[in-house]
Chain A
Amino acid sequence: MQLSLGPVLFYWTREGYADFYRDAADWPVEIVHLGETVCSRRRDMKLDDWLGIGRELEQSGKQVVLSSQTLIESEADLRGLRKLCANGEFLVEANDQSALQLLTDAGLPFVAGPALNLYNPAAIGVLARTGMQRWCAPVEMPRDDLANLLDECAREGLDQPCEVFAYGHLPLAWSARCFTARRHQYPKDRCQFVCQHYPEGLALRSQEAEGVFTLNGIQTMSGACQDLRREVPDMQSMGVGVARLSPRAANMAEVVEAFDQARRGELPPADPLALVEAEICDGYWHGRSGMANTHTVSG
């Protein structure tokens, strides 16, 4: 099974991205997704900057994929998307149907991101016929449904590898509204790029101080951090091709290391490691609410 780094969902500084990917070049991941998928106002990094990072990662032996913006709203968004799709070097991850249209229209191969809602073999078949090379399952899909789906795909000769969002805060919703700007009572158009103050998002808690969601600009993420480390052997036996690890600002090297151990069957049985300081969840995989934690992390 391959490991991939998902696109960075948070808004970091130029230096932040550069440092992160310099380190990532040495990590045991085979695929790296690059690009801004959340908000068009996050403009520190231009396409050329991403391409530069991509070339370096490619030199280090990584497969580089450029991920497209998930919520496309304006002509300016479409212009950015056209440039991304026409980059001429790297495969593109389509995160919405606008990207699908541009890529299929140009006859380019692509990978399908987690928000494309591929829940059944018929939907996967449609995209397989138009050049899809790999697809990421919806974050809410339970293990048993995915096993079912993979079996059916195999029967129908749909052999494009499937990717599972295995680690990180889950991207759960996209809105026209920016919730981080709202917290600061800034209008979205003059948001002062306040997201950059929250390299791992802004916690939204219930009035009982329970972590519920993580606000990340126009995106709402899970409050807990999904960790499917322990499910890696099961994923391997089901035929999942790629486990996606979603970057966070701290301890990402340790996260990658743990998943690398897991895929080699070398995870310590009583895993001592709470990888990061965040609540852990794995409910979706087990067919429950996404926020459920079926394993209590032992100390």
Chain B
Amino acid sequence: MELVCPAGNLPALKRAVDEGADAVYFGFQNATNARQFAGLNFTEKRAREGVAYARSRGKRVFCAINTYPQPAGWSQWTKAVDQAADLGVDALIMADLGLLDYAARHHPDLPRHLSVQGSATSYEALRFYHEHFGIKRAVLPRVLSMTQVRDVARKSPVELEVFAFGSLCIMAEGRCYLSSYLTGESPNTRGVCSPAAHVRWEETPRGLESRLGGVLIDRYGEGERAGYPTLCKGRFEVDGETYHAIEEPTSLNTLDLLPELRELGISAVKIEGRQRSPAYVSKVAGIWRQALDRLEHRPERFQPDPTWQAELGELSEGATTTLGAYERRWK
């Protein structure tokens, strides 16, 4: 299985490659990718350096152009596709039907991967993208159980990549408009979720309060560990009860599932986190490299090392991890 790691900037890209990523993915510095954060992502020049660095070490580079082109900005998105082709990346990661069509027509030989933002959760959906745009690989949304992943894998016409570690989107990606409902900006349109510009922190007599778009997302008592106010991970009141009504602050960690994913013929595992620091990326990439190597060596005897789990736990949101939807009872 290929280890695909996030590169929010050139130092992160280099660290990921050094630590054993088989492929890295990056985006340009604009709304064409789903991690449009201040100070993040690549200029054309940096991208060229990154591609050269990875290539010279035998690694692959994917370019994420995975937001949905807005009516006024079509040329910005097609330009990103042309630029990536010119850089000689190994694949484009895309979601929009129109942009997939554009890339298939203008750069037929450049492999196309379906982004998780394309919301393909069945092999029929994958056939649609495969038949119409010749996609080579798809990243599955984080909503399927292992049984369901197995069903998709059995009949998928394309390679599959699944999320292995990092922040957990619990909504079907590409079809979540919660962020724009509170802030006007969403992953689809602007490449952001719960954007920092709309976040406010306030010390109040009732505790530390986090807000997004003015809406109170959470309130922390003394000694409670405060987390970034991602809107689906706050504490809300439903029918008289206040709790994490949608999801707890937690990260996805699928180390335990590696043997099964391998057996299903999954082609690649993806580490989330282009917004994370180079130090984070390097640490996570290193652990997953060791895990995949051990898996290849003795798949039938694979056990994750407890120190890996502990270190990944430390790096996780709320210092806890989950198998998410892969595990039926999470639902």
Contact = CB atoms under 8 A, between A and B. Distances in A.
A18 interface: no
Contact of A117 (B175, B237, B239, B246): B175
A202 B71 contact: no
Interface stretch (B18-26, B158-166, B212-220, B274-282): B212-220
B246 A119 contact: no
Contacts of A73: 121-122, 143-145, 148
A58 interface: no
A208 to B, nearest CB: 5
Interface stretch (B56-64, B83-91, B179-187): B179-187
Interface in B215-260: 215-219, 234-239, 241-242, 245-247
Given A173-B175, A208-B216, A119 B71 contact: yes
A182 B119 CA distance: 24
15 contacts: A117-B68, A120-B74, A123-B69, A124-B98, A125-B98, A173-B171, A173-B177, A176-B170, A176-B324, A205-B236, A207-B216, A220-B246, A289-B182, A289-B183, A290-B177
Contacts of A102: 124
Interface string A148-167: 11001000000000000000
Contacts of A125: 98, 101
B172 to A, nearest CB: 5
B177 A138 contact: yes
Given A120-B68, A145-B71, A204 B121 contact: no
Interface in B55-82: 68-72, 74
A206 B237 contact: yes
Nearest to A290: B181
B166 to A, nearest CB: 17
Interface residues of A, number: 73
Contacts of A212: 182, 215, 236
A291 B181 contact: yes
Which DSSP category, helix, strand, loop or mixed, fits chain A's interface?
mixed
Contact of A174 (B72, B148, B171, B237): B171
A284 interface: yes
Interface of B: 68-72, 74, 95-99, 101-102, 118-122, 124-125, 127-129, 131-132, 142-145, 147-148, 151, 170-172, 174-178, 180-184, 186, 188-189, 213, 215-219, 234-239, 241-242, 245-247, 324-325, 328-331
Nearest to A183: B238
Given A178-B331, A289-B180, A72 B122 contact: yes
A232 B188 CA distance: 26
Contacts of B70: 119-120, 145
Contacts of B184: 283, 287-290
Interface centre among B151, B177, B247, B325, by most A CB within 10 Å? B177
Contact of A206 (B121, B124, B175, B236): B236
A120 B172 CA distance: 21
Nearest to B67: A119
Contacts of B143: 71, 73, 174-176
Contact of B237 (A173, A188, A205, A290): A205
Contacts of A288: 184
A75 interface: yes
Given A74-B148, A102-B124, A220-B246, A120 B96 contact: yes
B92 to A, nearest CB: 15
A238 interface: no
A57 B207 CA distance: 55
Interface of A: 70-75, 77-78, 81, 96-98, 100-102, 104-105, 115, 117-127, 130, 138-140, 145-146, 148-149, 152, 170, 172-179, 182-183, 187-189, 202-210, 212-213, 215, 220, 222, 283-284, 287-291
Nearest to B147: A74
B125 A175 contact: no
Nearest to A286: B184
Nearest to A151: B71
A102 to B, nearest CB: 6
- Which 10 A/B pairs are nearest by Cβ-Cβ distance? A122-B98, A123-B98, A97-B125, A290-B181, A101-B128, A176-B143, A176-B325, A98-B124, A173-B171, A123-B97
